[in-house]
């Protein structure tokens, strides 16, 4: 099974306040707690659908094997 994971070096943090990946996730597993911090993914809720990497405009989310 695959789940989404954030590459914190690529996640734009403050430069991506609208986080399209989070908005496109029906399961709401992607959170931005602070506007200037990278997104965080709750892998325990991720169903591996693969929508979020397609929506991330900074290519900061990848699907990884667990």
Q: What are the domain boundaries of the chain?
A: 2-65
Q: Answer whether 11's CB lies under 8 Å from 53's CB.
A: no
Q: Answer whether 38's CB lies under 8 Å from 53's CB.
A: no
CA distance 65 to 16: 26
In CATH, the architecture of 2-65 is 2-Layer Sandwich (3.30)
pLDDT of residue 33: 85
Length of the chain: 66
Name the pLDDT band for 16 (thresholds 50, 70, 90). confident
Phi, psi dihedrals of residue 10, rounded to the nearest 5°: -95, -25
pLDDT of residue 34: 84
Name the pLDDT band for 13 (thresholds 50, 70, 90). confident
Q: Could you tell me which residues are beta bridge partners of residue 32?
A: none
Comparing 7 with 15, which gets the higher pLDDT? 7
Quote the pTM value: 0.86
Mean pLDDT (the chain) is 92
């Amino acid at each position: 099974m695959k789940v989404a994971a954030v590459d914190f070096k690529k996640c734009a943090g403050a430069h991506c306040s609208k986080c399209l990946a989070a908005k496109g996730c029906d399961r709401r597993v992607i959170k931005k707690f602070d506007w200037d911090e990278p997104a965080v993914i709750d892998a325990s809720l991720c169903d591996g659908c693969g929508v979020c990497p397609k929506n991330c405009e900074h290519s900061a989310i990848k699907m990884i094997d667990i």
